[in-house]
Structures are given as structure tokens and as C-alpha cells.
A = this chain, B = another copy of it.
């Protein structure tokens, strides 16, 4: 890690709260902060950043290229342990696996999330960027809506909503006043509230930080993630990120969410897809 990155790290709540400490080869202690919970559940992207930080230490390459997480049981604030396995080490890519466990009162470990990932060096990839799509148009941040603008963009005044700055395009925020667009979209600006600039680890948080697209479909309630895969496609430039989340297929009680993340230099830096259970209820929070 560069000295500059370390200097940023010491000041960042995100970096402090995702830190891991080596207990034994491949085994890392962590502490899930209640600061990143929504209601009583620890945010899935925050969990992923912790596991990815452990894998970054365990593997010979620094950056997550593709990370798949299966969410097994709900995580709670408190101590955790990440156990990593180096599956394969190659010249340009290394494959790893990791599980985050928490403890029962008797000390038994319970697996919360299992992750499979390939790491490489984004810095070494060079500049042959031929992205075929352009970032969709988004109103400037001051014309977008945050939690302070009336009906909560998040379902509660959670620790999570104080640590991330999400400003929603008004076109995808109608659900907050009972008028969802029905298109299954969430678009907006993202940055960490502590001012830390984005990097591959924080992008893993960004892709799962927006309100569920189900709200924009007129559904309310929890949308638990079954599986989330994120491709980190470039080192993000400093500055706010633009996030575009869409759902195209809601069927049989499940839906996919596709999240594209664009940096301030108009690079598509992350592409994520998750399979989630659709909420059972049909009214959005805040709707009268």
C-alpha cells in the first residue's frame, strides 16, 4: 500500500471499521461495527469489504477483480473471524476463498458469508479502455435527494445512512412519497461521508448501498441478498461515484439487481449483479 493510501486510511472510519488483524496464517480477526447496520442487520457490502481486505492480505495480488458472496446467515455487530484459503496462484491472477464467521454464546463459529474471488493488479492493466456504453445522464448532486430531503431515502435513520452519502435522482425517488416509477431503477451519487476517496474495497460497499430497486417497483420490505457478484474493472478516480441500479426480471419471488458504478473520469469501474428475494409486501415504506 502506498504511503498516501495509509495516510488516508488512518483518518477514515470506513478503513478503521473494515480493518482486520492477522491471528494465524490466513486467519483474520475483525469487528463488525454497528455503525454500518441498517436496522439490526449489518450491511452486506460492508461485510464484503472486510472479507476482501483479509483476502487482499492473504493473496499475492492486491485488487479484487471478481468477488462472489453467498449470504448464509444474518450478521450482527460484534467480533468475527475471516478464514481464507489460497486456491490458486498465477502470474497475473490469484484465486481465493474466504468465510466470515461469528460466535455463538458457547464459542461455536457460525458461518455468515462465503466468498470466492480472483485478485490481480488493476494498476498493471494498462489503458486500452474500449467501454462501449456511456454513463447514463444524472442530475447534478444538488438536484438529487438525500436522507435530509424529506421522506427518508433509507428505511430508518441508520448508522449506515450516516456513513454513506447517497443522493438519488428524483426520477427514481418517487417511491419515498408513494409514487414509485414502476421501472425498477435506482440512480444517484455515492460517496463515503468521511470523505475517503473510492478504491476497489470501497466499491464493494458501493454496489450494495442503494435502496432496493424493489421499492421503485412498488414493493416494500426486506430484499435479502442470496448471492452478489462484483467485477472491479478499474481503479476509481477521486471524486463522487455515479451508481445505476436496475432490475429487469422479477419472477417467482426473486429478482436480480444490476449495479453499474462510474467514476468521475467516466470510467465504468464496477459491475455487480445480485440475486435477491423479492419483498412479500406491495406497499413501499413512506407510502400512505
A contact residues vs B (CB 8 Å cutoff): 65-66, 68, 70, 72-73, 87-88, 93, 95, 97, 111, 114, 116, 118, 122, 125-133, 183-184, 217, 226-227, 229, 231, 233-234, 247-254, 256, 267-268, 271, 273, 275
Q: Is the CB of B248 within 8 A of A268?
A: yes
A44 and B127 CA atoms in complex are apart in Å by 29
Residues of B near A130 (CB, < 8 A) are: 217, 250-251
Residues of B near A250 (CB, < 8 A) are: 128-132
Residues of B near A233 (CB, < 8 A) are: 249, 251-252, 254, 256
Q: Is the CB of B116 within 8 A of A95?
A: no
A231 and B225 CA atoms in complex are apart in Å by 13
Residues of B near A275 (CB, < 8 A) are: 65-66, 118, 231
Residues of B near A133 (CB, < 8 A) are: 248-249
Q: Is the CB of B114 within 8 A of A116?
A: yes
- Which residue of the partner chain, among B93, B114, B251, contacts A226 with CB atoms under 8 Å? B93
Q: Is the CB of A132 within 8 A of B247?
A: yes
Residues of B near A125 (CB, < 8 A) are: 251-254
Residues of B near A65 (CB, < 8 A) are: 226, 254, 275
A35 and B262 CA atoms in complex are apart in Å by 42
A68 and B133 CA atoms in complex are apart in Å by 26
A62 and B95 CA atoms in complex are apart in Å by 28
- Tell which of A68, A125, A184 has the most Cβ of chain B within 10 Å: A68
Q: Is the CB of A116 within 8 A of B249?
A: no
Residues of B near A234 (CB, < 8 A) are: 251-252
Q: Is the CB of B88 within 8 A of A229?
A: no
Residues of B near A248 (CB, < 8 A) are: 131-133, 268
Closest to A73 in B: B88
